[in-house]
């Protein structure tokens, strides 16, 4: 029996924020003060242990979860992450384990990830100019990330997806350069609408660019032909640019064409809370359940409670003309 919510959506996808720590300080994740000073982080014992995470995933898989994505923060900075990932991919019934990473440690971990069975990676990269990457992330890391991308392509990861958050006046002059990558490389370049998330957001109606505008601007390079979506495309609408591209373009429109009616996700934040919508602050405290000597039935009940709480939609578009955000969590804690 598939796991369904109150609106008949099948819930089959669990995103785990392994840690709120990150080796970058991206401008949309931290506040201006934090970009130069101290970041508030969870204490070590506030994170779920690997044993606790594995236990939750085992229960969730028995209930109908088939796909897990590791995110954060930066998942690859958590100590001994590979032994956790190896144990995770061995869980019976879990056929699909993926990773979202900033790519800095991919060159180092690529082979081990591949051998463990994680062959689908999304890499975040918001600019192809090294100085601009440094401005956006606070770290001079472009070349390291690029080597990471090349190494996973050489290892045979598929699909490899490159996520660009499109921000007006910040990186939108690079739309065509990113689109061009899909013509020559076997990757899916994904353009993500900038969302107003958390206290730290630099989001404004002015920096926001809709998918329709992004597509119109890219069409000067050639036709965009819709491709049939496959299971790994998630909420992206996928196109091929021109006739001969080896890769594809994905467009993710959480604001302009939201996909709440198809949302199959549940999140486990790095603080051990279950969250059924990225943009809705309601959470169920699973860490408390895990640390109260409960049996697996209590974990199951917590997962069901979170699924029952899953809102029908996020109403983000209605907030477009208000400043601030109704989603107050930090993206790195929630798991982007």
Sites of contact with ligand SAM (CB under 6 A): 22, 28-29, 71-72, 74, 100-102, 124, 163, 165, 192, 194-195, 197, 201, 331-332, 336
Cβ 305 to ligand SAM shortest distance, Å: 25
Cβ 301 to ligand SAM shortest distance, Å: 29
Structure tokens at 11: 């819930």
Q: Are 194 and 236 spatial neighbours (Cβ–Cβ below 8 Å)?
A: no
Give dist(CA 35, CA 158) in Å, integer: 34
Q: Distance from CA of residue 148 to its chain's centroid?
A: 18
Residue number with CB closer to ligand SAM (124 or 182): 124
Residue number with CB closer to ligand SAM (279 or 299): 279
Q: Are 25 and 39 spatial neighbours (Cβ–Cβ below 8 Å)?
A: yes
Q: Residue 121: phi, psi to the nearest 5?
A: -125, 145
Cβ 15 to ligand SAM shortest distance, Å: 10
Instruction: Give the position of tokens 């690529």.
Output: 110
Cβ 244 to ligand SAM shortest distance, Å: 28
Give dist(CA 235, CA 36) in Å, integer: 34
Closest CB to ligand SAM: residue number: 336
Residue number with CB closer to ligand SAM (74 or 283): 74
Cis peptide before 159 (omega within 30 of 0): yes
Q: Are 199 and 332 spatial neighbours (Cβ–Cβ below 8 Å)?
A: no
In sequence order, what are the beta bridge partners of 99?
70, 121
Cβ 152 to ligand SAM shortest distance, Å: 13
Cβ 134 to ligand SAM shortest distance, Å: 15
Q: Is 262 helix (H, G, I), strand (E, B) or coil?
A: helix
Residue number with CB closer to ligand SAM (101 or 273): 101
Give dist(CA 221, CA 208) in Å, integer: 22
Q: Is 145 helix (H, G, I), strand (E, B) or coil?
A: helix
Cβ 277 to ligand SAM shortest distance, Å: 15
- Using only C-alpha atoms, the chain has a radius of gyration, in whole angstroms, of 19
Residue number with CB closer to ligand SAM (66 or 100): 100
Residue number with CB closer to ligand SAM (73 or 247): 73
What is the DSSP-derived secondary structure letter of residue 10? B
Residue number with CB closer to ligand SAM (60 or 252): 252
């Amino acid at each position: 029996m598939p796991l369904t919510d109150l609106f008949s959506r099948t819930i089959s996808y669990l995103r785990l924020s392994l840690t709120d720590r990150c080796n970058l300080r991206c401008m949309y994740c931290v506040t201006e003060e934090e970009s130069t000073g101290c970041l508030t982080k969870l204490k070590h014992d506030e994170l779920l242990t690997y044993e606790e995470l594995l236990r939750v995933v085992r229960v969730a898989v028995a209930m109908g979860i088939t796909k897990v994505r590791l995110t954060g923060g930066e998942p690859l900075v958590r100590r001994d992450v590979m032994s956790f990932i190896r144990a995770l991919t061995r869980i019976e019934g879990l056929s699909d384990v993926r990773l979202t990473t900033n790519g800095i440690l991919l060159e180092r971990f690529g082979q081990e990830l591949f051998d463990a069975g994680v062959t689908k990676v999304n890499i975040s990269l918001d600019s192809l100019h090294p100085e601009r990457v440094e401005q956006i992330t606070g770290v001079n890391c472009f070349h390291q990330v690029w080597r990471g991308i090349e190494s996973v392509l050489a290892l045979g990861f598929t699909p490899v997806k490159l996520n660009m958050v499109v921000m007006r006046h910040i990186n939108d002059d690079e739309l065509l350069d990113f689109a061009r990558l899909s013509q020559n490389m076997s990757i899916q370049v994904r353009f993500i609408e900038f969302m107003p998330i958390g206290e730290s957001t630099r989001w404004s109606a002015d920096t926001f660019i809709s998918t329709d505008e992004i597509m119109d601007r890219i069409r000067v390079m050639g036709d965009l032909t819709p491709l049939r979506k496959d299971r790994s495309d998630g909420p992206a609408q996928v196109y091929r640019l021109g006739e001969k591209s080896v890769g594809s373009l994905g467009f993710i429109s959480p604001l302009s064409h939201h996909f709440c009616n198809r949302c199959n996700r549940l999140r486990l934040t790095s603080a051990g809370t279950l969250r059924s919508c990225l943009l809705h602050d309601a959470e169920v405290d699973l860490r408390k359940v895990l640390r109260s000597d409960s049996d697996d039935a209590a974990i199951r009940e917590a997962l069901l409670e979170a699924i029952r709480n899953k809102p029908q939609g996020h109403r983000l578009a209605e907030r477009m003309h208000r400043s601030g955000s109704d989603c107050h969590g930090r993206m790195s804690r929630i798991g982007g």
